[in-house]
Structure 1
Amino acid sequence: MTDETPPPRLSGGNPQIKKGDGDAPVQAYIAAMPDWQSAVGRRLDALIERTLPDVRKAVKWNSPFYGTTQNGWFLGVHCFTKYVKIAFFQGVLLDPLPPGTSKQKNVRYLDIRETDLIDEAQLADWIRQASLLPGDPV
């Protein structure tokens, strides 16, 4: 694969990006997100950085992860055909609860579709809250 060749996409359009720590693999993932989803990825990444300037970033399991040194990974992002899914790994402890439920008892989701308006104040509050909770150490 050359620099000009886009990365392959998994089912649902999720980019297949080599795992790695830091901003570079996350930016590669965002750049490879299909269509309107890339703009959502840039907006989300910028909001997370504004909310938590010292946020840790990585790509694991073909998804960007965000975390803190103290508490581990608290949030992941994944592309699907019709939406971008934000996973709060300890979402059941957030107030108010993010709307999407999960088969995993602690996880809550926020799905963002192309025409959705994003409540950045609420999202920043969830990010702030989630960053203070014990996260996933992986």
Structure 2
Amino acid sequence: MDSSAVAKKASKARGAKAAGKKLPATAKRGAAAGKGGRAAARKAGSSAARKPVLLSGGNPQIAKADGDAPVQAYLAALPGWKREVGQRLDALIARNVPGVRKAVRWNSPFYGIEGQGWFVGLHAFSKAIKVTFFKGTSLRPVPPGGTGKDGRWIDVHEDDLDEAQLAAWVKQAAAIPGWGNV
């Protein structure tokens, strides 16, 4: 039975039930199958075949995981211009920090050095990709965003990726102890 037929049966069953009418057994089974059938279909689909959920600002919902694959899944799921900019940022980090460790934490790619911690993370918002340096107050010049004790960030928009400045910050950030455990 296709999904529209199941939905019609379920709707008819709900309407009849609300009116206090008895339902034939087939209508009850159809309504029940509609609920369980959709859930079973969702469970049966592989996670790789499903599109990631986009959270506010177009930030992809990607499960917490270590390695390059979840970071690449995050980047591939970014909408519009953010995909290209995110991929350029990822390549810039990998090019400037040989052996960088990658992971997705809190729906954001994180980059770090084993034994030193995470030094930078990316996060998509409606109008920009935020590049957060976890020990940004130690960088020269200090990135413009943020007022916290250590962290600083820069918002990268569609047409203002300053690769030279970001590369300098990435190299500096990777050379100092970062945040958390990698």
The TM-score normalised by the length of structure 1 is: 0.93
Query: In the aligned structure 2, how far is the partner of 1:134 from the partner of 1:50?
Result: 19
Query: In the aligned structure 1, how far is the partner of 2:155 from the partner of 2:92?
Result: 16
Runs of at least 5 residues in structure 1 that lack an aligned partner in the other structure:
none
Residue 61 of structure 2 corresponds to residue 16 of structure 1:
yes
Residue 71 of structure 2 corresponds to residue 26 of structure 1:
yes
Computed over aligned residues only, the root mean square deviation of the Cα atoms, in angstroms, reads 1.2
Q: How far off is 1:11 after superposition?
A: 1.2
Match of 2:101 in 1: 56
State the Cα deviation string for residues 26-69 of structure 1 (Å, max 9, x = none): 00000001110010111011111110120000000000000001
Query: In the aligned structure 1, how far is the partner of 2:149 from the partner of 2:83?
Result: 29
State the Cα deviation string for residues 59-97 of structure 1 (Å, max 9, x = none): 000000000013110000000011000000000010011
Residue 180 of structure 2 corresponds to residue 119 of structure 1:
no
Q: Percent identity?
A: 57
Runs of at least 5 residues in structure 2 that lack an aligned partner in the other structure:
1-44
Aligned length: 136
Residue 89 of structure 2 corresponds to residue 44 of structure 1:
yes
More helix by share: 2
Query: In the aligned structure 1, how far is the partner of 2:103 from the partner of 2:146?
Result: 24
More strand by share: 1
Q: How far off is 1:133 after superposition?
A: 1.4
Q: Which amino acid aligns with 1:33?
A: L
Task: Give the structure with higher Rg (CA).
Answer: 2
